[in-house]
Amino acid sequence: MKLKKQVTVCGAAIFCVAVFSLYLMLDRVQHDPTRYQNGGNFPRSQISVLQNRIEQLEQLLEENHEIISHIKDSVLELTANADGPPALLPYHTPNGSWVVPPEPRPSFFSISPQDCQFALGGQGQKTELQMLTVSEELPFDNVDGGVWKQGFDIPYSPHDWDSENLQVFVVPHSHNDPGWIKTFDKYYTEQTQHILNSMVPKLQEDPRRRFLWAEVSFFAKWWENINAQKRAAVRRLVGNGQLEIATGGWVMPDEANSHYFALIDQLIEGHQWLDKNLGVTPRSGWAVDPFGHSSTMPYLLRRSNLTSMLIQRVHYAVKKHFASTHSLEFMWRQTWDPDASTDIFCHMMPFYSYDVPHTCGPDPKICCQFDFKRLPGGRINCPWKVPPRAITETNVAERAALLLDQYRKKSKLFRSNVLLVPLGDDFRYDKPQEWDAQFFNYQRLFDFLNSQPELHVQAQFGTLSDYFDALYKKTGVEPGAQLPGFPVLSGDFFSYADREDHYWTGYYTSRPFYKSLDRVLEAHLRGAEILYSLALAHIRHSGMTSQYPLSDYTLLTDARRTLGLFQHHDAITGTAKEAVVVDYGIRLLRSLVSLKQVIINAAHYLVLGDKGTYHFDPSTPFLSMDDTRLSQDALPEQTVIRMDSLPRFVVLFNPLDQERLSVVSLLINSPRIRVLSEEGQPLAVQLSARWSSATDIVPDVYQSVKRVDEAQEHRLSTEFLIYGTRTSKDKSGAYLFLPDGEAKPYVPKEPPVLRVTEGPFFSEVVAYYQHMQQVVRLYNLPGVEGLSLDVSSLVDIRDHVNKELALRIQTDIESEGTFFTDLNGFQIQPRRYLKKLPLQANFYPMPAMAYIQDSQSRLTLHTAQALGVSSLSNGQLEVILDRRLMQDDNRGLGQGLKDNKRTCNRFRLLLERRTTANKVQDGRPTSFPSLLSHLTSMHLNTPVMALPVAREQPGGPTLRSFQPLASSLPCDIHLLNLRTLQAEDDKLPSSETALILHRKGFDCGLEAKNLGFNCTTSQGKVALGSLFQGLDVGFLQPTSLTLLYALGSPSSSMDVHLEPMEISTFRLRLG
């Protein structure tokens, strides 16, 4: 045991009336055995004070039905060697359980029955295409389709277009990855800037030319480097429709591992940039490269007022099925949507890839001949051995006929006579010659085709929106309206296979260290955004704006962009080269440090007792963060708070929407301390040793393991497993999971060392294996924290070769092949284990949670990082923790995954009793977590931040708790962000803030007993006018998700209403 002691402070409760005292649990030296016997001997006066306070509070609650405060800073004082009021001790009863002082926190939970209706049904109209059903019915037989290997022969008659011309839009595009083989900056310098530089003159040469761009991150960097004249030219090209920015996000995000907070944030960042610099609002979505598609994206794009979208990487068998049933274009609807308001028109590309050989028609050998970058003499050629030929007077008729045949065949797969033909690839159009080769040759082909009326074709360059507009026009509806005659689809497009049994399910876990760091950055960004906005509003209110570090806004902007960049489909996916991963890591860490600074600066002002004394001095920060990371790939290390004769102060920031009762761990260099609340009342603590290794083993530990298990009512066991990879030529890599069969038990060389800690507020079992440390902790706290098992796995598989480490949870739940995984932390997608598919096909992304259930119970695994998950057998949940793979998997990366880190994966395991389960409901394509599950996920993903007050404060500061909200938000309403908008000077904040609220969909049919929540529901009503304590809402404008469109006029009423599952954005002014 080291000298350092870990003090665990139980506090941060909203009504800080608890009178607890220090309890030294493991410190036998300090321990005075007589105190145990005196355990029941509490100071009566203090208990009665406490009881009175509780009664008062309960009265207050009954009157108001409101609980005060959520995002809240609490103030604690740590005092060394202090003498103080007599202690109130938790004590150990003879039967072995702990008795802790009564908790004054109100437990109050009432959900109005109306709010339970949503999950019960009625909603979610039946759609023609339900992806869950499609997957169950498809044979996935992979029959050779001839030239279109994964498809079929497409017959047509040349007269098919006699009554209506075929209208072809060829869309030149360049797919620019913001980091993959090269870093973002290297790509920019060596490739992207040249593409954009030559784009301007090449588009200006001929008004018929078009170009499509998607990644605003690159565009914004280029914009910084071009002069006013060029900027004006770009604005003209956008204005006249020659250049389209599609989607308009900061990146083209991964849709499997990303969390909806980050997805929305990067979309706002991109859209705000476009609005400000180009004055343009994106209309169509373009996602050609993400490895599978989530149904969260169509929702977010629809709510951002986009009218149509395109997707590409979908399982080849699904593509074939949709092609054969003319279902490649559909209205995409959310599974939970009751009234089609979420519908967005979606185009699914039919073939293997978005490159030129796979976009003109079914035969890549032909289409490749129309990629004029591959003309003989160039750097790349056609692997089908027939090179392109430049178009001349003499060959144009023959070449045009060849191409038209492909166009016509492709067109037969769709319901309209409008045809989309993308023309591009990764980092294309980087040289003027390439622009010329494509534009001149295609123009000659178009001119010829269009001059032959008997061909009934009209071909031209177009943007994606040109294509969609023509389609809408043909159908006779306005863009964005419901397109008649197209099927309605619900569900998602995971998991993706591009050929054979090559399932892209490895990247759900690849590089889990960074998937975890991403989530940490998200929590800090949200916390920093909210605190910055509040501090700014309050300091403006007090007229002291000049003293505040407004320049923190640039730190926020940088962090938004870093988080946005990392959502890229080669970043959070873990599919970039090692050096690029390091570059991302450095950016993530730098932003994390910046955000801590923003949080510290905002908290400094907000918790100051006497605002008049506020003085910002960047050289002497008032607060510090209590953890640091030594490098981008290191786990955080907690700072030791050093005690001497003077008290130390710690500010706790709870970024949750709700008040919380949580254990907060601090590292202190002395066990002889007292912890006082803001009011000077002693708080109860649990003192634990800090272990540097797994020594000092107690032999009778197994009993305690059992105790923890008994807290669950079901048989539940966990087991570590190892997957190997195949001996054949195709092996697992960064993208693909190609296991050599079923997993085998992980057999450590030596049996694990177990260590058990028991205490009044938490007890834990730590199992030390050679490659991991598994901590299972149970909190003895009322409310959310005490109802689930806290599980974390510290994994280090750097000495493995071609192995994947899995954690399997085996229960007696009769899940019968059905399990549930979340999409982007936003919604739940039911899954079926499909025997007809290989093992790896049954894995799905798990950004936030997965569960299995039967009519009695539901077991939910909540996660603090995205990982791959499956349920391969009845009653199981299995999650892949890390993967170490020595080879490339032939998808362009050219590397294996050999840069594994020590990674800490964190989970919460929640077992709930189902009260109203029925078969009809369980058969539906939608499902919802309980409120408790939502709150558990929030607790796991947004931990309390501890901010020790810097030591240099002479005499100690006067600090006061800060409670931003005057009344509670309903417990199904989540404040997703409070994001200060940019001023005209983009380094400064404007007076306006974006408030983003999310009303969660939840299932009331689980564990209806009083769970100790401190919030209720309100049928989606929120009174914004009086929400922020001490601040008025001066202006309130409902807007589209990314603030580009005002929805209606500024609201005179400050009461807003949200439907279940909806995310709503408001532009407002706080003052």
Q: Which of 115, 177, 289, 430 is catalytic?
A: 289
Sign of CA dihedral 192, 196, 198, 203: positive
Looking at the Cβ atoms of 73 and 289, the one nearer to Zn ion is 289
φ, ψ (nearest 5 deg) of residue 557: -60, -45
Rounded CA separation 567/525 (Å) = 14
CA atoms within 13 A on the CB side of 845: 36
Please report how close the Cβ of residue 1065 comes to Zn ion at its closest, in angstroms: 28
Looking at the Cβ atoms of 391 and 423, the one nearer to Zn ion is 423
HEC string for 285-330: EEECCCCCECCHHHHHHHHCCCCEEEECCCCHHHHHHHHHCCCCEE
Looking at the Cβ atoms of 405 and 583, the one nearer to Zn ion is 583
Looking at the Cβ atoms of 427 and 439, the one nearer to Zn ion is 427
Parallel, antiparallel or unpaired: strands 857-863 and 849-853: antiparallel
Rounded CA separation 964/966 (Å) = 7
φ, ψ (nearest 5 deg) of residue 724: -100, 180
Parallel, antiparallel or unpaired: strands 488-490 and 1021-1023: unpaired
Rounded CA separation 830/306 (Å) = 27
The identity of residue 200, as a single letter, is: V
Please report how close the Cβ of residue 822 comes to Zn ion at its closest, in angstroms: 24
| Residue nearest Zn ion, Cβ-based | 289
Rounded CA separation 720/752 (Å) = 12
Looking at the Cβ atoms of 573 and 1016, the one nearer to Zn ion is 573
Distances from the Cα of 607 to the Cα of 678, 680, 825, 1045, angstroms: 11, 16, 32, 36
Sort 45 into a burial class: Cβ within 10 Å, 0-12 / 13-18 / 19+.
Answer: exposed
Sort 338 into a burial class: Cβ within 10 Å, 0-12 / 13-18 / 19+.
Answer: middle
Please report how close the Cβ of residue 578 comes to Zn ion at its closest, in angstroms: 18
Looking at the Cβ atoms of 305 and 359, the one nearer to Zn ion is 359
Bridge partners (DSSP) listed for residue 130: 490
Please report how close the Cβ of residue 171 comes to Zn ion at its closest, in angstroms: 17
Do the Cβ atoms of 761 and 663 come closer than 8 Å?
yes
Looking at the Cβ atoms of 23 and 291, the one nearer to Zn ion is 291
Q: What tokens were used for 227?
A: 């002069």
Please report how close the Cβ of residue 175 comes to Zn ion at its closest, in angstroms: 6
Looking at the Cβ atoms of 339 and 578, the one nearer to Zn ion is 578
Please report how close the Cβ of residue 569 comes to Zn ion at its closest, in angstroms: 5
657 is catalytic: no
CB atoms within 10 A of CB 499: 11
Please report how close the Cβ of residue 294 comes to Zn ion at its closest, in angstroms: 16
Looking at the Cβ atoms of 289 and 854, the one nearer to Zn ion is 289
Do the Cβ atoms of 925 and 830 come closer than 8 Å?
yes
Parallel, antiparallel or unpaired: strands 803-811 and 788-795: unpaired
Which of 900, 846, 883 is closest to 739 using CA atoms?
Answer: 883
Please report how close the Cβ of residue 174 comes to Zn ion at its closest, in angstroms: 11
Looking at the Cβ atoms of 187 and 503, the one nearer to Zn ion is 187
Do the Cβ atoms of 9 and 762 come closer than 8 Å?
no
Please report how close the Cβ of residue 508 comes to Zn ion at its closest, in angstroms: 17
What is the greatest pairwise CA distance in the chain? Answer: 106
The identity of residue 1039, as a single letter, is: T
- Give the angle 545-549-553 at the CA atoms, nearest 5°: 105
The identity of residue 792, as a single letter, is: S
3-state secondary structure of 656: coil
Which residues have a Cβ under 8 Å from the Cβ of 640 and sit 6 or more positions away? 4, 667, 668, 669
Which residues have a Cβ under 8 Å from the Cβ of 146 and sit 6 or more positions away? 152, 153
Q: How far is CA 121 from the centre of its chain?
A: 27
Bridge partners (DSSP) listed for residue 973: 999
Please report how close the Cβ of residue 296 comes to Zn ion at its closest, in angstroms: 19
Which residues have a Cβ under 8 Å from the Cβ of 327 and sit 6 or more positions away? 129, 321, 487, 489
3-state secondary structure of 684: coil
Q: What is the DSSP string of 924-991?
A: SS-B---HHHHHHHHHHHSPPEEEEBPTT-TT---B--B--BSSPPPTTEEEEEEEEEE-SSTTSEEE
Q: End-to-end distance of the chain based on CA atoms, in angstroms?
A: 53
Rounded CA separation 157/455 (Å) = 12
- Give the angle 109-110-116 at the CA atoms, nearest 5°: 125
Q: How far is CA 758 from the centre of its chain?
A: 35
Please report how close the Cβ of residue 385 comes to Zn ion at its closest, in angstroms: 27
Which chain residues interact with Zn ion by CB under 5 A? 177, 289
Looking at the Cβ atoms of 177 and 425, the one nearer to Zn ion is 177
Looking at the Cβ atoms of 181 and 196, the one nearer to Zn ion is 181
Looking at the Cβ atoms of 252 and 488, the one nearer to Zn ion is 252
Do the Cβ atoms of 379 and 517 come closer than 8 Å?
no
Residues acting as catalytic residues: 289
